[in-house]
Chain A
């Protein structure tokens, strides 16, 4: 019985870490995979989603709708940012990092000035269940389901819809796609919006479990970066397996030594992975397939 409890506890920890990694990274990964742009304002889109969904709950909206509202708001903000700042910089990927960092500074400090140093949260819903003397949050289990659901929906979107087809064509050979009549600018804009919306979704989902401060985005950044670096450019072949592997490392180290050890472990894992697989897991898989 004890061993069962131990295994369950570890699985729960792993699922929690996996969900956090997938949700915080997939927005970043979609944008990076499509456009080779690392969006340093990613954390701010997460913050935007969290703030909007929390305000929506305060305004009386039920939580699931509020979370979707957060994602939509972040998505719209993302499309605006793409139009104004990212589009002129497509030929200079390093400069997009710098520009998005500028946006991140503006948004963080702007939120601090306009909305103050913190916002009242909504409290984690659904309570908890007990198993073998330990209590587990039900909401965390829902987050795990949400992570898997998000991956499934993204997969359907990229493989079954017209947007998916056009966007995959745009990734592969942008000029040919353009010559075939694909409006690549629109695809880029939509993709950036999608990435931002996924960030907003992560923010909305995690808003009830966190304190809402303007700098909250930064607490997602390390995990998101690390997952994208290990995963590489492809979200399904890269981000998901990377999140699984890193989830094990994080859960084990967090259970053993605490949150910070988990993060340091992730970072060391990443630095070693870079040395062995410079293009990430997906780069390795795609190379072997080719």
Chain B
């Protein structure tokens, strides 16, 4: 009895002061969107379904950045570093271990774990050195750039881990996709229906879990630190531990993105950690609205779709548009475009009511 009430208490955290959207209306909308997402493959061809999985892959990284930057207030440019580490790790592990007996799932867990470990080591030095926000950004960016350059020079047979060649600038390929062991032949998750539903399910679970996390005591302290680190410290919280915790969780989500992406395309290159790649998560999250998980999710998906359309019609201008979008968002709607629209419409409604 006590346990069910505790469980209910935890589940109740899915709504709270740190997340937008509550009440039956929001959850009805959520269920509707989820139902549409579930029904989507019935109306689309398998290329579009695979493409959607590609979009979903990035959302984990974006939500992780929302946790680190939006909720925790520490700007990390290192998301793609953890993305790359986990991607390469998955590649090396699966090529060496093979894909029988669901070993790919073990590789997934180990790859994400490795990126979390790397994040913990880096985060220890950064947060326990008490460096401020600006320096955190440039150190994490330096780590990312150096990692990219390191991976780019790993061409040649001497750069191999087991039977996995790293292949330098060209990137590593031909690792097996994720598989689920199943009686009567395991299910290989090609970018098609099964992978779509798996990624979607994972997305919903991570989204709800993060909502609970940010509404829990941990999340409230994190927001308190963002608002005023000194005050949070005076109230007796060891802010370094909370920041490190958020950093590790957010970075592991980037790692999860990396594994899913590598498994999705059977391919990972150093360019996925470069300057441009590192800028993109910042664009998604800043434009969408970093301060809230839902706006991050919606905004990231929107920006990703727009970006892909742009790359199809005028590939060279896509990055310029992204840059302009970023600058304009920061100047005009610092809380993100989704929040900007919500605020503006709310103001409009108020005015109407007042009349």
Which of B122, B128, B316, B331 has most chain A Cβ within 10 Å?
B331
> Which of these binds chain B: A13-21, A204-212, A267-275?
A267-275
Q: Which residues in window 120-143 of B have CB below 8 A to A?
A: 122, 125-126, 128-131, 133-135, 137-139, 141-143
Q: What is the distance, in angstroms, from A70's C-beta to the closest C-beta of chain B?
A: 22
Which of chain B's residues have a CB closer than 8 A to the CB of A105? Answer: 276, 279, 319-320, 322-323, 326
> Chain B interface residue count: which class?
35 or more
- A89 at the binding interface (Cβ < 8 Å): yes
Residues A110 and B134 in contact, CB atoms below 8 Å apart: no
Which of B133, B142, B326 has most chain A Cβ within 10 Å?
B142
Residues A270 and B142 in contact, CB atoms below 8 Å apart: yes
Residues A103 and B323 in contact, CB atoms below 8 Å apart: yes
Which of chain A's residues have a CB closer than 8 A to the CB of B142? Answer: 221-222, 225-226, 267, 270
Per-position binary interface string of chain B over residues 62-97, scored 1 when its CB falls under 8 Å from any chain A CB and 0 otherwise: 000000000001010000000000000000000000
* A275 (CB) vs chain B CBs: closest residue: B129
Residues A99 and B145 in contact, CB atoms below 8 Å apart: no
B316 touches which of A109, A215, A228, A274 (Cβ 8 Å): A109
- B273 at the binding interface (Cβ < 8 Å): no
* A225 (CB) vs chain B CBs: closest residue: B138
Per-position binary interface string of chain A over residues 28-59, scored 1 when its CB falls under 8 Å from any chain B CB and 0 otherwise: 00001000101010000000000000000000
Residues A278 and B323 in contact, CB atoms below 8 Å apart: no
Q: Which residues of chain B have a CB within 8 Å of any CB of chain A?
A: 73, 75, 122, 125-126, 128-131, 133-135, 137-139, 141-143, 145-146, 149-150, 153, 275-276, 279, 282-283, 286, 316-317, 319-320, 322-327, 330-331, 334
Q: Which residues of chain A have a CB within 8 Å of any CB of chain B?
A: 32, 36, 38, 40, 85, 88-89, 92-95, 97-99, 101-106, 108-110, 112-113, 215, 218, 221-222, 225-226, 228-229, 260, 263-264, 267, 270-272, 274-276, 278
16 more contacts with CB within 8 A, not counting A94-B134, A102-B324, A225-B138, are A93-B134, A94-B73, A97-B138, A98-B286, A105-B319, A105-B323, A106-B320, A109-B316, A109-B320, A218-B275, A222-B145, A229-B135, A263-B149, A267-B142, A271-B122, A274-B125
